[in-house]
Amino acid sequence: MKRIIKTRNAPAAIGPYSQAVEIHRTLYISGQIAIDPNTGKMIEGDITAQTEQVMKNIEAILHEAGYTFLQVVKSTCLLSEISNFKAMNEVYGRYYFDYQPARAAFAVKELPLGALIEIETIAVK
């Protein structure tokens, strides 16, 4: 059975989608951008600050659903500029220091609300 995951500790969806959906012990987290869940607004800052906020948002959703970063099997990172890859990777690596998931990273033309980074995540129990 499909379970919709929703937490106040991560930004509310800005469209017709869920923060995350769990089915068959697999959690699909929608792409997260650097929105502060307390204000509902994009944080100010560079790629390092934005990636940190994105990872905190992902962590809050994982926690709400009863998962951890150790159970993440796949991430997709969307960057507004590929030149931000190295700085993003440094922050990302602090969260996935052990049992790193599979990952893809792409530069895209634009991201919602002018974000520099968006990350979607899949975790499995």
SS3 for 101-124 is CEEEEEECCCCHHHCCEEEEEEEE
pLDDT at 95: 96
* Separation between Cα atoms, residue 33 and residue 115, nearest integer Å: 6
Per residue of the chain (125 residues), give pLDDT as tens: 999 999 999 999 888 999 999 999 999 999 999 999 999 999 999 999 999 999 999 999 999 999 999 999 999 999 999 999 999 999 999 999 888 999 999 999 999 999 999 999 999 99
* pTM, 2 dp: 0.96
- The answer as to CATH 3.90.1150.10 being correct for domain 3-124 is no
C-alpha to C-alpha distances, 82 to 79, 85, 93, 117, 124, nearest whole angstrom: 6, 5, 17, 10, 29
pLDDT at 20: 98
C-alpha to C-alpha distances, 90 to 4, 44, 101, nearest whole angstrom: 31, 19, 15
